[in-house]
Structure 1
Amino acid sequence: MDELPVVVIGAGPVGLAAAAELLERGLEPLVLEQGTQAGAAVAEWNHVRLFSSWSELVDPAAARLLEPAGWGRPDAAAYPTGREWAEAYLRPLADVLGRRVRFGAEVIGVARRGRDRIVDSGREGEPFSVHVRTAAGEQRVLAKAVIDASGTWSAPNPLGGEGLPAIGERAAADRISYRVPDLVQGAARYAGKHVVVAGSGHSALTALVALSGLANGTRISWILRRGGVGTAFGGGDADQLPARGALGLRAKAAVDAGLITVVTGFRTEVVERGDDGRLALVSANGRRIDAVDEVVTLSGFRPELGWLSEIRLELDPTLQAPVALAPLVDPNVHSCGTVHPHGAKELSHPEQNFYLAGMKSYGRAPTFLARTGYEQVRSIAAALAGDDEAAARVELILAETGVCGGAGLFDEAGPAAGGCCGAPDPEMLTLSAPPALSN
Structure 2
Amino acid sequence: MSDRLPGFSTLAVHAGAQPDPTTGARATPIYQTTSFVFNDADHAASLFGLQAFGNIYTRIGNPTNAVLEERVAALEGGTAALAVASGHAAQVVVLQQLLQPGDEFIAARKLYGGSINQFTHAFKSFGWNVVWADPDDISSFERAVTPRTKAIFIESIANPAGSITDIEAISTVARKAGVPLIVDNTLASPYLIRPIDHGADIVVHSLTKFLGGHGNSLGGIIVDAGTFDWSTGGKYPMLSEPRPEYHGIRLQETFGNFAFAIACRVLGLRDLGPALSPFNAFMILTGIETLPLRMQKHCDNAKAVAEYLAGHPAVASVSYAGLPSDKYNQLARKYAPKGAGAVFTFSLKGGFDAGVSLVSKLQLFSHLANVGDTRSLVIHPASTTHSQLDDAAKVKSGAGPDVVRLSIGIEDKEDLIADLEQALGA
| TM-score, length-scaled by structure 1 | 0.24
More strand, by proportion: 1
| TM-score, length-scaled by structure 2 | 0.25
Higher relative contact order (CA 8 A, sep 6+): 1
